[in-house]
Amino acid sequence: MTKTKGNLARTMLASIRNRANRAVVRPFDARDGSLVVASYNVHKCVGTDGRFNPERIIEVISEIDPDVIALQEADQRFGERSGLLDLPRLRLETGLMPVPVLSKPKSHGWRGNVLLFKEGVVRDVHQVALPGLEPRGALVAEIDLARGEGLRVIAAHLGLLRWARRQQADVILDIMDGREERPTLLMGDFNEWRLGPGSALTRLESVFGPLPPAIPSFPARLPVLSLDRIMANRAGLIAELAVHDTPLARLASDHLPLTARLDLDGV
């Protein structure tokens, strides 16, 4: 236990030292035809001030203006797992539509995971229960984008226990092994603060290559841990990766959104 605490302390100190070098990030300029994607743990719409305010989450998503976004903790955790966002308003203001899932009537997504996209056609959706003590899941969607490209997106929320994250990573590898090869994004809150060989995410490198830079996104007011990740199975697919750090984002949830600009022409 002492070793684990020591590693966590070193990770946090390194992130704090590097914080001065991390600029506040505004939305990507995607006028070149590239796509913007994001992953955002909305913390059941409870902000760092302790207030439940779904409107702030919608405003942060509007700031990002993504083409595809994966949300975590967008439903209540227990009971009917009711959705917490005004999805019709979100579609009206951003153009984002939820990928359809089979779930409880009042839920937005699958075990808290909601995947939204702006333009295109969803060809296939799979809801995968991930192993572990907590009710964790992954949402797999095959999307034919409006420009004609095909993109697979795996949106996931991994567990708090390292042994569970290792098993969950193995399930994600099985998902990839059982499907045709195509450009794939894996994104979500992976709850893994460890870097290097101790990270459960290194198991994913056989398919997703070397892990992309770890960008601190948690806690939102002073991000020191890289819990949120976006990775791709093809080199060059992710052209830029950044945390969306704005005053509203620091307030709306305990996580900052992680964003990426995709270059689909380069793969």
- Tens of pLDDT along the chain (267 residues) come to 445 555 666 655 555 555 544 444 555 665 566 799 999 999 999 999 999 999 999 999 999 999 999 999 998 876 667 789 999 999 999 999 999 998 776 778 899 999 999 988 998 999 999 999 988 999 999 999 877 779 999 999 999 999 999 999 999 999 999 888 999 999 999 999 998 889 999 999 999 999 999 999 999 999 999 999 999 999 999 999 999 999 999 999 999 999 999 998 766
The values of phi and psi at residue 100, to 5°, are -70, 140
* Angle value at C-alpha 196, between 190 and 201, nearest 5 degrees: 30
C-alpha 57/C-alpha 53 separation (Å) is 7
Q: Which contiguous run of DSSP H or E holds residue 81?
A: none
Question: Which amino acid appears at position 1 of this protein?
Answer: M
What's the confidence (pLDDT) of residue 29? 60
Instruction: Return d(Cα 70, Cα 158) in angstroms, integer.
Output: 13
What pLDDT sits at residue 24?
45
Q: Which of 133, 135, 114, 108 has its CA nearest to residue 72?
A: 114
The sheet with strand 97-98 has its strands ordered as 97-98, 114-117, 68-72, 35-41, 258-262, 238-243
Q: What pLDDT shows up at residue 27?
A: 57
The phi, psi pair for 25, rounded to 5°, reads -105, 130
Predicted local confidence at residue 23, as pLDDT: 42
Distances, alpha carbon 190 to alpha carbons 12, 78, 143, 169, 227, in Å: 17, 21, 23, 10, 6
pLDDT at residue 21, as a whole number: 45
pTM over 0.85: yes
